[in-house]
Chain A
Amino acid sequence: MSSFKRALRGEDLPASAITPREVYEGRRQLLRGLAGTGLAAWAGRHMIGSAEAATPPGGGLAKLAGQPSPLSVMEKPAPYKDATSYNNFYEFGTDKSDPARNAGKFRPTPWTVSIEGECRKPMKLDLDALRALAPLEERVYRLRCVEGWSMVIPWVGYSLSEIIKRVEPTGNAKYVEFTSVEQRDTQPFLGSRVLDWPYTEGLRLDEAMHPLAMVVLGMYGEVLPNQNGAPIRIAVPWKYGYKSAKSIVRIRLTATEPQTSWNRTAPSEYGFYSNVNPTVDHPRWSQATERRLPEDGFFAPKRKTLMFNGYDQVAGLYAGMDLRKFY
C-alpha cells in the first residue's frame, strides 16, 4: 500500500492523535444542543432531524419489533404523525385526513387470513400464527403514491414469499389476488360508490415471490394503526401505493389475472402492473416528479421520480415487456 493510501486511511497518524469516539460524539451532542437552543428556523429544524437516521418513535400502540433489514433504504422516515394522518384508505373516506378520523371503531382483532386457490395446502392463519410464521424484519421502504407524493416508512413484517411457499402453489398458479376486509359497521364509506367493494388487488406470482414484496404487520416498531391497514397489509415498494392492499382477509392464488378495484373503476388510468415509472404519465398528470413528505418544504422543488421507485432489482421481472402498454 502506498504511503498516500496509508495517509488516506489515517495510518500515518499516531494513535494518540486520533480523537476518541466518546469525545467527538460528545462534541456533536454539544453542537446539537447548541443548535436546539438556537433559533428553530425551518432549515435548522430539518438539519437537526436528519442527524439521526433511526426509526422515529411510534404512537404508543403495542410493540412489534423487527430485525433491521439490508433491504432498507438509507432515507429519513416520515414522522409517525404524518404517516398516520395522511392516508388513502377509501373504506374510511376519500379525503386523506378521513382514515385517521374514521378508523377508530375498526376491529383489527380477532383476525384470520385465508390463503387459498391454486395451492396444495390452503390455510387459515390467525394473527399469532402470522407473527410467528417468519422472523420479523424492519424494512424502511419508499412509498410512492400515484398522486405524486412519497413518504419513507419503516414497516415491520417479512417477505410475502414466506407465506406463499408454505401453501405450495400448484403449477397453475400464475397470479395472486388480495382481498381487503369489509366491516360494514366500522367502515363508513363501504356504502359509497367510489369503488367496487371489497377492495381487491393483485400481483403476478413472480412479483409476489420477489423478496421486496412484503407482508406487513407493523410500522415504527408497533402494530399497524387501523388507518394504515391493520392488522395485516402488503407493501410492494416498486409499485404505486394503491397496489399495497390494506387489512387483508384473503390471499388467493389464481391461474388468470385477477381484477383489481382501481383497474375496474378506471382501466385507462390504472393498469394491472402500476409500476412506478417516471416515463409513463398518468392520463391526467405527470409522474416525472414527486414531493417527498413531509421533508420537502415549500421552497424545495419536487424531486425526480425514479424508475421502479429506485428499486432497480425488480427490473428483471419485466425484461422484454413494453411498460407503456403494461402500465
Chain B
Amino acid sequence: MSVQPASPQPVSATVHALPRRAPPLAFPLRHLVLIKTVVWLLALLPVARLAIGAFSFALVDLPGGAALIALGRDLGANPLETITRSTGFSALVLLTLTLLVTPARQWLGQPWLIKLRRMLGLFAFFYAALHAMTWVWFDHFFDLREMAKDVFKRPFILVGFSAFVLLLPLALTSFNAAVRWLGGKRWLWLHRLVYVVAGLAVLHFWWMKAGKNDLAQPALFAAAMLLLAGARFAWTRRRARPPQAAPLDWLQVRRRD
C-alpha cells in the first residue's frame, strides 16, 4: 500500500470547520482486494479454529494433524458451551468492528474503509446465526416447547434472539440491488436497526454474565458501543454541511473527495 508523498510546498492554509487530518491513503483497486481477502480470512479464523477442535479426533492420525490441532481451539469438556460462547463473542466483536467503520473513516479521513463494512456486518450475522443455531439445534433439538420454556426461564435468551431476528433483514438487504430497490433513504432507515441490535446484543451478554457477577467483558463492549455512538454524535454536530449521499457513499466506487 503506497502513501501519497507529502507535498514539498507548504499547503495554503484553508479554513476548515473540520479538524486537520492526514490525507486519505491512495492505492490501486487490487490492493483493496488484497485487504478484503485478509480481513475475510481473519474473520473466518474463529470458526475455522472451532472446526479444527470439533474434528480433532479425526485429524489426529493424519500427517501434520497435530500441528493443525495446535492451531485449532480445544473445545474442552463442554464443547457445546465452548462453541456457543465463542460464536456469540465473535458476533459481538464483528458487530463492534462494523460499527467502528464509519467513525474510523470519518476521524481518520480514510473513506475506503467503508468498503469493508458490508463484509464485517455479514460476518457478524454469520456468527450470530451460528450462535442462535447451537441453541436451536444442539441445545433444544428444534423442540419449540422446550425453547419456549427456556426463554421463559432465561429472558436474556429472548433479548439475544431478538437481536438476531433484527439482523436478518439487514443481512437480506445487504447487496447493492437492495439499496436501489428500497431507495437510499429507506435502506438507511432500515439499517439503523443495527444500533438496536448492538444495544440488545450487549444487554444479552451483560445479562448472561451477571449471574457470576463477572461484568468486565460486557462492560468493555458497552463502553465501546457508547464510545462509537458518541463519536457519531460528535461528528454529526461538528460537520459544517449536512451529509449528502452519505448513506450510499460505499456504492460510489469512484468517489472524489
A85 within 8 A of B: yes
B67 within 8 A of A: no
In B39-59, which residues have CB < 8 Å from any A CB?
Answer: 57-58
Query: Provided the pairs A40-B57, A284-B154 are in contact, do residues A86 and B213 lie with their beta carbons within 8 angstroms?
Result: no
Could you give, for residues 64-88 of chain A, a 1 whenever the CB lies within 8 Å of some chain B CB and a 0 otherwise? 0000000000000010011101100
The segment from B4-12, B14-22, B76-84, B198-206 found at the interface with A is B76-84
Say yes or no: A286 contacts B149, CB within 8 Å.
Answer: yes
Residue of A at shortest CB range from B155?
A284
B63 within 8 A of A: no
Query: Provided the pairs A40-B57, A194-B214, A284-B211 are in contact, do residues A78 and B77 lie with their beta carbons within 8 angstroms?
Result: yes
Say yes or no: A301 contacts B141, CB within 8 Å.
Answer: yes
B249 within 8 A of A: no
Query: Number of residues in B with C-beta < 8 Å to the partner?
Result: 19
CA distance A194 to B61 in the complex (A): 43
CA distance A284 to B154 in the complex (A): 5
A263 — which chain B residues lie within 8 A by C-beta? none
A4 within 8 A of B: no
CA distance A307 to B185 in the complex (A): 59
A85 — which chain B residues lie within 8 A by C-beta? 76-77
Query: Provided the pairs A40-B58, A45-B57 are in contact, do residues A286 and B211 lie with their beta carbons within 8 angstroms?
Result: no
B212 within 8 A of A: yes
Which of A78, A281, A294 counts the most B-chain CB atoms under 10 A from its CB?
A294
Say yes or no: A94 contacts B214, CB within 8 Å.
Answer: yes
CA distance A40 to B60 in the complex (A): 10
Residue of A at shortest CB range from B207?
A284
A194 — which chain B residues lie within 8 A by C-beta? 212-214
B61 — which chain A residues lie within 8 A by C-beta? 40
B79 — which chain A residues lie within 8 A by C-beta? 294, 297-298
CB distance from A75 to the nearest CB of B (A): 16
Residue of A at shortest CB range from B211?
A284
CA distance A281 to B152 in the complex (A): 12
CB distance from A130 to the nearest CB of B (A): 29
CA distance A104 to B58 in the complex (A): 32
Could you give, for residues 63-86 of chain B, a 1 whenever the CB lies within 8 Å of some chain A CB and a 0 otherwise? 000000000000011111100000
Q: Given B77, B80, B138, which contacts A86 in the complex, CB threshold below 8 Å? A: B77
Query: Number of residues in A with C-beta < 8 Å to the partner?
Result: 29
CA distance A45 to B60 in the complex (A): 13
B153 within 8 A of A: yes
B138 — which chain A residues lie within 8 A by C-beta? 298-299
A86 — which chain B residues lie within 8 A by C-beta? 76-78
A327 within 8 A of B: no
Say yes or no: A285 contacts B154, CB within 8 Å.
Answer: yes
A246 — which chain B residues lie within 8 A by C-beta? none
B76 — which chain A residues lie within 8 A by C-beta? 82, 85-86, 96-97
CB distance from A78 to the nearest CB of B (A): 7
Say yes or no: A286 contacts B212, CB within 8 Å.
Answer: no
B154 — which chain A residues lie within 8 A by C-beta? 284-285
CB distance from A38 to the nearest CB of B (A): 12
CB distance from A205 to the nearest CB of B (A): 31
CA distance A97 to B58 in the complex (A): 24
Could you give, for residues 226-255 of chain A, a 1 whenever the CB lies within 8 Å of some chain B CB and a 0 otherwise? 000000000000000000000000000000
B212 — which chain A residues lie within 8 A by C-beta? 94, 194
Q: Given A40, A294, A297, which contacts B77 in the complex, CB threshold below 8 Å? A: A294
Residue of A at shortest CB range from B54?
A298
Q: Given B57, B149, B213, which contacts A42 in the complex, CB threshold below 8 Å? A: B57
B214 — which chain A residues lie within 8 A by C-beta? 94, 194
Query: Provided the pairs A40-B61, A294-B78 are in contact, do residues A286 and B213 lie with their beta carbons within 8 angstroms?
Result: no
A324 within 8 A of B: no
In A280-315, which residues have CB < 8 Å from any B CB?
Answer: 281, 284-286, 291, 293-294, 297-299, 301
Say yes or no: B213 contacts A265, CB within 8 Å.
Answer: yes
Residue of B at shortest CB range from A151?
B77
Which of B57, B80, B149 counts the most A-chain CB atoms under 10 A from its CB?
B80
Q: List 6 tightest A-B contacts by C-beta distance, closest first.
A: A82-B77, A86-B77, A94-B214, A194-B213, A293-B77, A294-B77
Please list 23 pairs of residues, one from A and one from B, whose beta carbons are closer than 8 Å in the complex, sorted by A's number.
A40-B57, A40-B58, A82-B76, A86-B76, A94-B212, A97-B76, A151-B77, A193-B213, A194-B212, A194-B214, A195-B213, A281-B153, A284-B154, A284-B211, A285-B150, A286-B150, A291-B78, A293-B78, A294-B78, A297-B79, A298-B138, A299-B138, A301-B141
Q: Which residues of B are interface residues toward A (Cβ below 8 A)?
A: 57-58, 61, 76-81, 138, 141, 149-150, 153-154, 211-214
A-B contact sample (7 more), CB < 8 A, given A195-B213, A284-B153, A286-B153:
A281-B153, A285-B154, A286-B150, A291-B78, A293-B78, A294-B78, A301-B141
